[in-house]
């Protein structure tokens, strides 16, 4: 009997000792992820937390909503047809980008790319807002021309005079500066090196993640100058097992430290965020009858303490940009200081009034909701990093900056030094795919030759495109001078093209009609005005929300 008990005890001990430790092992294979022989733990950060909220951003929990104009529409405007859409959770700036925020950007550009250096002379000029937008042939606005952007009294006012292209470049700059400080704080780069870089040593997030040795112009004293990187370098030199396992000298996407890119919000995201929660959800249904970002059908407050006060900064009537002084005044005749009015239910300020805002989309009169009703966006141009046959990548060098000449004659760099050269995707990415077949999808199903209403005499010809907007010719001649030629043809029928970008929301110079978040207008991406600004957005990775659901 005693031998039998001993036998069962040995069997039990053996089975217990070999039971997989699922806490420290792979749920896919049962192999250990942690420990001396663990092979995957060093390549995966199991302790990574939820995405950190970037500077200036507010989390917007995604969901379904009615996009488009749902109020009375006496004009029957085709471009506001209501449709149901769903957007994923994302982040958005709580305020419009201010003059102070933008001045930080152009100060950085001037310091890193001194305009007195010939290779850089057009970079700074391409970033500076157009202050002449304040001029009016029959108005006296020279004070704003000279002071609005740079005077500290306007520091917390929304920046204007910025084109869609300039707004996109600001978002790129902001992405890299935020991730650059994260990189330094993680101990991978030399402290404060970011303050002393010149153009050739520019940090680019995508360059660092794809080909880190090319980042900072390959300057090893910056790349491996942090405390943590120095330790890893020493461990890599060590021939012991410990040293052999620490080969990751650079921060990687898997570490969960870098934030996704700052960008312009899509039109669907902007409209969803502007509407706010109130009036959209009611016992898990969406009513979709919201007229303004606030929960009343009027532009004045009905609360006792603020009764009669305007809830946004807009043009109240002919010759009335703010009301009667000292009584029903909205405290603004042009733009207003950000946060001057109550935020909507998402915590976003000035989603109606103050300035209209650029969004990412290319304009088309219709929204193709039959084709897609999830994260709708028109404007995809898919590219990839230029790669050599040996697997190395190509970055933009100081002496190889390419400038695009815009229709208005201004020059803008296609990419900055240190960024990986981007090329269109080709058949390596598109062959036998069912979700996309080309690099440029801006005119997909509404302007391309596959469109249902393509207006052409010959299906194989582009002589009569669906949207035949004027083409202003601007080019640099053999002497280096910019030549401008207006398109004077008389058979143009539209202003819509693949460079027409949507802007949303009413502004300080718009009437109440334009305050409805569903309203949409467009301008060429290279134009700027004194009533259009912008705010940044960011995609959320991971869970839909960082809050627990609770009963109503």
- Better pLDDT: 290 or 354: 354
Please write the tens of the pLDDT for every residue from 161-208. Answer: 999 999 999 999 999 999 999 999 989 999 998 898 988 899 999 999
CB atoms within 10 A of CB 432: 6
Report the C-alpha gap between 77 and 81 in whole angstroms: 8
Give 77-92 pLDDT, tens digit per residue.
Answer: 677 788 899 999 999 9
Beta strand pairing call for 83-87 and 383-385:
unpaired
Question: How much is the pLDDT for 254?
Answer: 85
Q: Span 57-438+465-539: which CATH code?
A: 3.90.1580.10
Question: What are the residue ranges of CATH 3.90.1580.10 in the chain?
Answer: 57-438+465-539
Written as one string, the DSSP assignment of 407-422 is TTS-EEESS-TTSBPE
pLDDT of 168 reads 98
| pLDDT (0 to 100) of residue 95 | 97
Q: Is the pLDDT of residue 498 over 80?
A: yes
Share above pLDDT 70 across residues of the chain, in percent, rounded to a whole number: 79
Averaged pLDDT for residues 534-550 = 87
Q: What is the DSSP letter of 381?
A: B
Give the pLDDT confidence score for residue 246 in this predicted structure.
39
**How open is the CA angle 314-318-322, to the nearest 5 degrees?**
40
More confidently predicted of 492 and 432? 432
- Higher-confidence residue: 238 or 297? 297
Which residue did the predictor score with more confidence, 467 or 136?
Answer: 136
Residue 283 has pLDDT above 80, yes or no: no
Strand partners, 263: 537
Lowest mean pLDDT among 51-55, 301-305, 312-316, 412-416: 301-305
Q: What is the pLDDT of residue 245?
A: 40
Q: How far is CA 416 from CA 164, 201, 202, 340, 388, in A?
A: 18, 11, 8, 37, 20
Asked if 69 and 82 count as a contact pair (C-beta separation under 8 A), the reply is yes
pLDDT grade for 459, boundaries at 50, 70 and 90: very low
Q: What is the pLDDT of residues 362-409, one digit of tens each?
A: 999 988 888 999 999 999 999 999 999 999 999 999 999 999 999 999
What pLDDT digit, counting tens, does each position of 217-226 carry? Answer: 999 889 888 8
Residues 6+ apart with CB under 8 A from 12: none
Report the alpha-carbon distance of residue 123 to residue 116 in Å, rounded. Answer: 11
Which pLDDT score is estimated for 46? 57
CA 509, 515, 519 angle in degrees (round to 5)?
Answer: 105
With cut-offs at 50, 70 and 90, classify the pLDDT of residue 244. very low
- Confidence check: pLDDT of 138 > 60: yes
pTM of the model: 0.89
Q: What is the SS3 assignment for 504?
A: strand
pLDDT digits (tens, 9 = 90+) for 328-343: 677 789 999 999 988 9
Confidence band for 1, pLDDT divided at 50, 70 and 90: low
Report percent pLDDT > 90 for the chain: 53
Q: pLDDT confidence of 317, banded at 50, 70, 90?
A: confident
Using CB atoms within 10 A of its CB, is residue 358 exposed (0-12), middle (13-18) or buried (19+)? buried
Which residue would you say has higher pLDDT here, 306 or 376?
376
Residue 93 has pLDDT above 90, yes or no: yes
Give the count of beta carbons closer than 10 Å to the beta carbon of residue 529: 19
pLDDT of residue 129: 98
Q: In the predicted model, is pLDDT for residue 64 greater than 50?
A: yes
Q: What's the pLDDT score for residue 161?
A: 98
3-state helix, strand, coil in the chain (%, to 5): 25, 15, 60
**pLDDT, position 74:** 67
Q: 38-50, pLDDT tens digit by residue?
A: 555 555 555 567 8
Query: What pLDDT shows up at residue 388?
Result: 95
User: Per-residue confidence at 227, pLDDT binned at 50, 70, 90?
Assistant: confident
What value does the mean pLDDT of the chain take?
A: 84
The Cα 421–Cα 499 span in angstroms is: 22
Select the more confidently predicted residue: 413 or 293. 413
Closest C-alpha among 507, 533, 531, 537 to residue 519: 507
């Amino acid at each position: 009997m005693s031998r039998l008990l001993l036998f069962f005890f040995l069997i039990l001990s053996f089975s217990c000792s070999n039971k997989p430790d699922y806490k420290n092992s792979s749920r896919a294979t049962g192999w250990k992820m942690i420990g001396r022989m663990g092979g995957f733990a060093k390549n995966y950060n199991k302790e990574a937390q939820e995405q950190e909220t970037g500077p200036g951003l507010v989390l917007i929990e995604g969901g379904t909503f009615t996009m488009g104009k749902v109020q009375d529409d006496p004009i029957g405007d085709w471009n506001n047809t209501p449709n149901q859409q769903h957007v994923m959770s994302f982040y958005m700036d709580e305020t419009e980008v201010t003059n102070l925020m933008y001045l930080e950007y152009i100060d950085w550009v001037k310091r890193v790319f001194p305009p007195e250096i010939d290779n850089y002379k057009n970079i700074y000029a391409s970033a500076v807002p157009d202050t002449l937008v304040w001029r009016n042939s029959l108005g006296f606005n020279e004070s704003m021309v000279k002071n609005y952007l740079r005077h500290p009294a306007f520091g917390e006012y929304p920046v204007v005079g910025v084109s869609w292209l300039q707004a996109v470049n600001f978002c790129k700059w902001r992405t890299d500066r935020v991730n650059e400080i994260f990189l330094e704080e993680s101990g991978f780069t030399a402290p404060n090196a970011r303050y002393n870089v010149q153009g050739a040593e520019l940090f680019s997030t995508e360059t660092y993640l794809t080909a880190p040795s090319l980042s900072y112009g390959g300057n090893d004293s910056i790349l491996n100058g942090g405390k943590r990187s120095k330790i890893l370098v020493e461990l890599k030199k060590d021939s012991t097992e410990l040293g052999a396992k620490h080969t990751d000298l650079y921060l990687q996407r898997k570490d969960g430290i870098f934030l996704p890119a700052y960008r312009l919000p899509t039109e669907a995201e902007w409209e969803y965020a502007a509407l706010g929660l109130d009036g959209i959800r009611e016992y898990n249904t969406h009513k979709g009858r919201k007229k303004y970002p606030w929960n009343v059908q009027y532009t004045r407050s009905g609360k006792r303490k603020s009764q009669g006060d305007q809830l946004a900064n807009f043009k109240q009537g002919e010759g009335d940009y703010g009301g009667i002084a000292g009584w029903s005044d909205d405290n603004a005749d042009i733009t207003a200081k950000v946060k001057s009015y109550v935020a909507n239910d998402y915590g976003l300020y000035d989603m109606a009034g103050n300035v209209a805002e650029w969004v990412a989309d290319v304009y088309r009169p219709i929204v193709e909701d039959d084709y897609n009703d999830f994260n709708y966006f028109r404007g995809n141009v898919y590219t990839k990093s230029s790669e050599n046959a040996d697997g190395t990548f190509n970055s933009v060098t100081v002496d190889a900056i390419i400038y695009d000449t815009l229709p208005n004659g201004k020059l803008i760099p296609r990419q900055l030094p240190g960024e990986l050269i981007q090329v269109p995707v080709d058949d390596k990415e598109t062959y036998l795919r069912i979700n996309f077949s080309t690099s440029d999808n801006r005119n997909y199903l509404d302007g391309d030759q596959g469109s249902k209403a393509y207006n052409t005499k010959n299906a194989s010809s582009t002589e009569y495109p669906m949207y035949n907007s004027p083409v202003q010719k601007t080019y640099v001649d053999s002497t280096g001078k910019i030549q401008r030629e207006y398109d004077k043809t008389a058979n143009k029928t539209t202003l819509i093209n693949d460079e027409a970008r949507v802007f949303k929301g009413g502004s300080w110079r718009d009437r109440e009609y334009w305050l409805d978040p569903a309203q949409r207008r467009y301008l060429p991406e290279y134009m700027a005005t004194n009533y259009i600004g912008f705010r940044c957005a960011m995609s959320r990775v991971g869970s839909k929300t960082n809050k627990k659901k609770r009963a109503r």
